[in-house]
Structure 1
Amino acid sequence: MEFFNSAIEALKTLVTALGAGLGVWGVVNLLEGYGGDNPGAKSQGIKQLMAGGGIILLAQQVIPNLSNLF
């Protein structure tokens, strides 16, 4: 059971890092859109930023509940 709990923690860390990376990429696109007055890049940036935040929220709230399934 200890292996399963450590695997869940590793998955939580990995998914959180993935969400943070997507959020950072979104911020870069957002700033690029504001710098070049590009509405397409601004839209893409805000979408990526929100998706990154959603993935982080998923990692923090849902993945730890996997240990309760077994």
Structure 2
Amino acid sequence: MEFFNAAVDVMKTVVVALGGGLGVWGAVNLLEGYGGDNPSAKSQGMKQLVAGGGVALIGITLVPQLANLFD
């Protein structure tokens, strides 16, 4: 059971890191869109920023619930 709990902790870290990376990438695209006055880049950046936040939220809230799955 110890191995499973450790794997859940690693998976939580990976999912939160991926969400954070996507959020940062979205913020860069958003600022690029504002800098170049490009509406499509602004739209894409906002979508990526929100998606990154959602993925990070899933990593924080849902992934730790896997540890209680086999208790």
Aligned to 2:46: 46
Aligned to 2:14: 14
After superposition, what is the alpha-carbon deviation per residue over 1:13-51, rounded to whole angstroms, capped at 9, x for unaligned?
Answer: 000000000000000000000000000000000000000
Tell me the TM-score normalized by structure 1. Answer: 0.98
CA distance in 1, matches of 2:41, 2:63: 31
CA distance in 2, matches of 1:46, 1:53: 11
User: Letter of the aligned partner of 2:13 in structure 1?
Assistant: T
CA distance in 2, matches of 1:15, 1:69: 18
For structure 1, the 5+ residue unaligned runs are none
1:26 corresponds to 2:5 = no
Count residues in correspondence.
Answer: 70
* Per-residue deviation, 1:69: 1.0
Find runs of 4+ consecutive structure 1 residues off by over 3 angstroms.
none
1:5 corresponds to 2:5 = yes
